[in-house]
Amino acid sequence: ALVSMKDMLNKALQEGYAVGQFNINNLEWTQAILGAAQEEQSPVILGVSEGAARYMGGFKVVTSIVSSLIEEMKITVPVAIHLDHGSSFEKCKAAIEAGFTSVMIDASHHPFEENVATTKQVVEYAHSKGVSVEAELGTVGGQEDDVIAEGVIYADPKECFELVQRTGIDCLAPALGSVHGPYKGEPNLGFKEMEEICNVIKLPLVLHGGTGIPTDHIKRSISLGTAKINVNTENQISFTKVAREILTSDLEVYDPRKFLAPGRDAIKATVIGKMREFGSANKA
Ligand code: G3H
Ligand code: ZN
């Protein structure tokens, strides 16, 4: 069933696990992630970046594919379609009009007052439609589609509190050392700040840059209030590794299904592993 993230994440925070956001790129990604969720009886968040939505042909194409698959695959677990790193009020509104059940407004690179104002505008519109909102403070490192960061800036707990109070968001992504794409060495997450922020805002926290974070850091993040973990790159690597092996080992292959289907299976296996690691399996 298509739902917002609100109840999903509040339940996860209360019960001490995290729901995975897995980004989709096309039909195969969507099939793999929905299939994994159903098999694991896990709630799931389908993340859609603006770049991925453009690639797939627009927001409406995304929601059409997702709702058709939910019906055809008989998916009964809770599913949210979430705009990942929404860049403006207009983009969030367009996604909601197309049927997204959740949006992230990422105004983290703007001055604080502007972040508050834009986030508040998104919350007012989204909540009037039953859609949940995630906001961000600080800077997640690395690059994902249109989101490019120069260095990492930790979120300030005081600003987090003020943003929550003034906007009424449902969950917050405080940047605390995580990076989009592979890490260079061990990630250096700000656990002290994570705990402090969750204690003052009393909302589920979101961890971006889930690829490459060791399991003990994942578990610690969950114990400190992280209830949503975003994973994108790891599925891209799983798919591409399998596709590349098939294409390089057999130069006669031309039917795309010969590498798309095994690639899809690889994504599904990766997602199942994450659902178990995050503790969301059997929590649907
Ligand atoms: O918003 C999406 C995530 O933060 C993905 O990060 O590609 O490093 O897994 P990742
Ligand atoms: Zn992200």
Quote the pTM value: 0.97
Q: Residue 152 pLDDT > 90, yes or no?
A: no
Ligand 1 atom closest to 179 (CA): 8
Pocket test of ligand 1: the residue of 184, 208, 221, 226 to mutate, having most ligand atoms within 8 Å of its CB, is 208
Ligand 1 atom closest to 49 (CA): 1
Tell me how far the alpha carbon of residue 254 lies from the centroid of ligand 1, in angstroms: 31
Point out the ligand nearest to the CA of residue 209.
1
Neighbour count for residue 114 (Cβ, 10 Å):
11
Length of the chain: 284
Q: Residue 57 pLDDT > 80, yes or no?
A: yes
Task: Mark residue 279 as left, alpha or beta (left: phi above 0; alpha: psi -120 to 50; beta: remaining).
Answer: left
Beta bridge partners of 23: 47
- Structure confidence at residue 144 (pLDDT): 76
Burial 235-273 (b: 16+ CB within 10 A, else e): bbbbbeebbeebeeeeeeeeeeeebbeebbbbbbebbbe
Does the ipTM exceed 0.95? yes
Q: Residue 38 pLDDT > 80, yes or no?
A: yes
- Ordered by where they begin, the domains of the chain are 6-278 (3.20.20.70)
- Structure confidence at residue 198 (pLDDT): 97
State the maximum Cα–Cα separation within the chain, in Å, rounded to a whole number.
Answer: 60
